[in-house]
Amino acid sequence: MRCPRCGNEDPKGFYLGGRGWYCRKCVPFSRVLMTDAPKMWEEESTIPDAEYELGFALTPEQEKAAQEILEKTREGKNVLVKAVCGAGKTELVYPVIREGLSAGKKVGFAISRRQVVLQIAGRLAKDFPRLKVIPVCEGFTEDTQGDLIVCTTHQLYRYTGYFDTLILDEPDAFPFKGNPVLQGIAENASKGTMIYLTATPDEWLTEKIQNHKAEEVPLYKRPSGIPLTVPKVNYLPKEGLALALYGYLRTETKAGRYAMVFFPTIRETETFAGIFRRYYRIAVMHSAREDKDAQVRMFQRHEARFLFSTTVMERGVTFSGIDVLVYKADHPVFDYASLVQMTGRVGRDPKNPEGTGIFLCAKKSGEVDKCVSGIMTANRLAFGAENGLTTRKTS
Ligand SMILES: [Zn+2]
């Protein structure tokens, strides 16, 4: 037996209920009996005007990547777009969206986190002004049909076999990463091709390349044309970390800079915010905060000089001209992907690309080393040997 929705094949994963067999792995989404006929989707009769309007020109590197993605998708291949943080990966799939929808096909865009769904849906609605762009996520499930569906990976259970091309943004992010049920549901939502977009592919994605189930399209250069910030790693005795943090906050304040400071736990985030709030304006973010939007706005508007946060803010956000510090970067909650993403918050605004990244560590960490060498390799591939080997100097 194989579940048509999540792809589960484990015999222990099925249960015989009063009405027949169903899959236990994806039953939290809704009950699908194995004897149910596959859902039939109506064929779209009207072809929407899927022309897009970008307020800026793509760089030659972006153009080349976008073209490669389009060609591979036309050939029916799955694509892994490996674009460094801030490379502008969303607009790389615009030609695929335009061509697919113009031909009457179904194209979808799925993301792990709800906040990012709303952000991207707003952006796609603006850039594709004649399309009905529908966000589908918690709080937005009344209307689930449109020209272009932008949903959380959780909501894909509604769309088994629906899409001709499904774009999965950041499939290496929580809670999608390492979740076979969500991964199965996502892959079964597309009856055609998949496009995966990420800066930090995990094992699930790299295996697809190794097994020839997807082809890679890399993009190492950001539109700003400036190399990625290579984090400076400071090793200190454990007792010296807090003092180094204090020194950093003071220096940043004197220099008139704004910075995101990442901590491994909610407890440390709150404790240090409590201590330093007496001296500095600090916004605080973690999963347990009720006032998340207000805290982010405070930092965005420069009403706070620092944003203290857990990894909850490691992706998907852009603040102009900031620096980043990771406190205890050697802590096990920070893996390679997380460290690359946090550092990737620096230099995202092409108009204000200066910024520094600092890791405070008490001991050596393989993940930290991998992050530093990974970023240097990306710079080398984008700019040649010289730039990849040195930390970028800030002017
Ligand atoms: Zn299932």
Q: Is 42 within the bounds of a domain?
A: no
Cα separation of the two ends of the chain = 62
Say how many Å lie between the CA of residue 31 and the centre of ligand 1.
9
Same domain, 185 and 248: no
Say how many Å lie between the CA of residue 24 and the centre of ligand 1.
6
Q: Residue 81: name the closest of 103, 65, 59, 100 by CA.
A: 65
Same domain, 270 and 304: yes
For residue 137, the 8-state DSSP code is: B
Same domain, 212 and 66: yes
Longest CA–CA span in the chain (Å) reads 71
CATH (domain of 280)? 3.40.50.300
Residue 317 neighbours by CB under 8 Å, 6+ apart:
296, 345
For residue 20, the 8-state DSSP code is: E
**166 in Cβ contact with 185 (< 8 Å):** no
Asked which of 219, 242, 268 is the last residue of a domain, the reply is 219
Same domain, 152 and 261: no
pLDDT of residue 394: 43
Say how many Å lie between the CA of residue 154 and the centre of ligand 1.
13
Cα distance between residue 323 and residue 344, in whole Å: 10
Say how many Å lie between the CA of residue 144 and the centre of ligand 1.
21
Say how many Å lie between the CA of residue 208 and the centre of ligand 1.
21
pTM equals 0.89
Asked which of 196, 219, 242 is the last residue of a domain, the reply is 219
Say how many Å lie between the CA of residue 221 and the centre of ligand 1.
40
Say how many Å lie between the CA of residue 74 and the centre of ligand 1.
29
Say how many Å lie between the CA of residue 188 and the centre of ligand 1.
10
Same domain, 174 and 284: no
Say how many Å lie between the CA of residue 145 and the centre of ligand 1.
23
Q: Residue 80: name the closest of 191, 227, 200 by CA.
A: 200
Residues of the chain with pLDDT under 70: 43-46, 385-395
Rounded CA Rg of the chain: 22
Q: Is 297 within the bounds of a domain?
A: yes
Q: Is 11 within the bounds of a domain?
A: no
**318 in Cβ contact with 347 (< 8 Å):** no
Torsion sign over Cα 126, 132, 133, 139 = positive
Instruction: Count CB neighbours of 255 within 10 A.
Output: 10
Say how many Å lie between the CA of residue 26 and the centre of ligand 1.
4
Say how many Å lie between the CA of residue 139 and the centre of ligand 1.
24
SS3 75: coil
Q: Where are the alpha helices (DSSP H) in 128-265?
A: 180-189, 203-210, 241-254
Same domain, 203 and 251: no
pLDDT of residue 393: 44
Q: Is 385 within the bounds of a domain?
A: yes
Say how many Å lie between the CA of residue 174 and the centre of ligand 1.
20
Q: Are strands 163-169 and 107-111 parallel, antiparallel or unpaired?
A: parallel
Q: Which strands sit side by side in the sheet containing 79-83, from one edge to the other?
A: 133-136, 148-152, 107-111, 163-169, 190-198, 79-83, 215-219
**236 in Cβ contact with 230 (< 8 Å):** no
Q: Is the peptide bond before 175 cis (omega within 30 degrees of 0)?
A: yes
Say how many Å lie between the CA of residue 222 and the centre of ligand 1.
39
Same domain, 141 and 268: no
Say how many Å lie between the CA of residue 5 and the centre of ligand 1.
5
Same domain, 314 and 207: no
Say how many Å lie between the CA of residue 191 and the centre of ligand 1.
16
Same domain, 64 and 187: yes
Cα distance between residue 254 and residue 323, in whole Å: 14
The full length of the chain comes to: 395
Q: Is 69 within the bounds of a domain?
A: yes
Tokens of 66: 């976008």
Say how many Å lie between the CA of residue 30 and the centre of ligand 1.
10
Say how many Å lie between the CA of residue 1 and the centre of ligand 1.
10
Same domain, 161 and 89: yes
Q: Is 383 within the bounds of a domain?
A: yes
HSE on the CB side for 123, CA within 13 Å? 13
Same domain, 373 and 244: yes
pLDDT of residue 133: 95
Same domain, 197 and 250: no
Say how many Å lie between the CA of residue 39 and the centre of ligand 1.
14
Tokens of 178: 């390492």
SS3 355: coil
Helix count and strand count (H, E) for the chain: 11, 15
Asked which of 160, 194, 219 is the last residue of a domain, the reply is 219
Say how many Å lie between the CA of residue 14 and the centre of ligand 1.
8
Q: Is 241 within the bounds of a domain?
A: yes
Q: Is 98 within the bounds of a domain?
A: yes
Say how many Å lie between the CA of residue 118 and the centre of ligand 1.
27
Cα distance between residue 294 and residue 305, in whole Å: 14
pLDDT of residue 250: 97
Token match 């800066």: residue?
199
Tell me how many domains the chain contains.
2
Domain that holds residue 101: 60-219
pLDDT of residue 298: 96
SS3 173: coil
